[in-house]
Amino acid sequence: MTRKAILVSASPLNGGTLCADSGIEAWARFLHSNAGGAWIRHEITPLPNSNRDAVLAAVRSAKDADYTLLVFAGQGDIRKGDLPWPEAHILLIDGVSLSESELNPATPRCTMVFDWSTQTSADSLPRDEEPGQASAKFRTLFDQTLEQTERGLVKIYASQSATPPGHGASFSRQFLQGAEEWARTNRGILSLPQAISLVVTATPKTNPVLKAEYQGGRRLHHFPFAVAI
């Protein structure tokens, strides 16, 4: 099972660039950890404040992967563009926007995460881990679970619009922290919708403006997000 993670951050309209960058750095550390599925560093492409050409080049480079994860942390919204239905649009550092369809690498399995909640305060980062002998077991469990899922595209939104950010932790930080806490006290697989439910439970108190939504389509088996052995 070949993987590719593309982690994009951009804050073109205000001083929140540091916060968006810390969001994708937290994603990179989580993916590299055992709980995140023991991704190999060369499978993870961070793109802090990159332009349109760099982002699209990274998307094209992922076309041969079996599973792609694309995360955007910054500003954007969901609106009707060239297609008949609404799409997510992200705003890059130079003010250029990219649509959801342009960001889709069309790999057999793909997860796209759009986090518009990273503009106010920098997130604390998870502890970085160096891979050990046990990492192969975590990676194998993640891959085996992924292979059992239906193919297709899954989308996750921090909110349905350009909601003004709250003063609490960003969606990404709560998403990752919830998975890390789950892995400390559980065994097995934490699926994407289960991880979203942890955020939905937490956000009314920590950041009430977030309205996290999971769009997984009609599937019986959902992509894994965290693993624990």
> pLDDT digits over 48-68, tens only?
988 999 999 999 999 999 999
What is the spatial distance between Cα 58 and Cα 205, in angstroms, rounded to a whole number? 37
**CB–CB of 58/4 below 8 Å?**
no
pTM: 0.88
- Give 82 or 101, the one with higher predicted confidence: 101
CATH 3.40.50 for the 3-228 domain, yes or no: yes
Judged by average pLDDT, the poorest of 117-121, 142-146, 213-217 is: 117-121
pLDDT digits (tens, 9 = 90+) for 150-182: 999 999 998 765 554 455 678 898 899 999 999
Does residue 17 carry a pLDDT above 60? no
pLDDT band at 203 (very low <50, low <70, confident <90, very high): low
CB 176 within 8 A of CB 134: no
pLDDT of residue 124 exceeding 60: no
First-last CA distance in the chain: 20
Return d(Cα 144, Cα 168) in angstroms, integer: 35
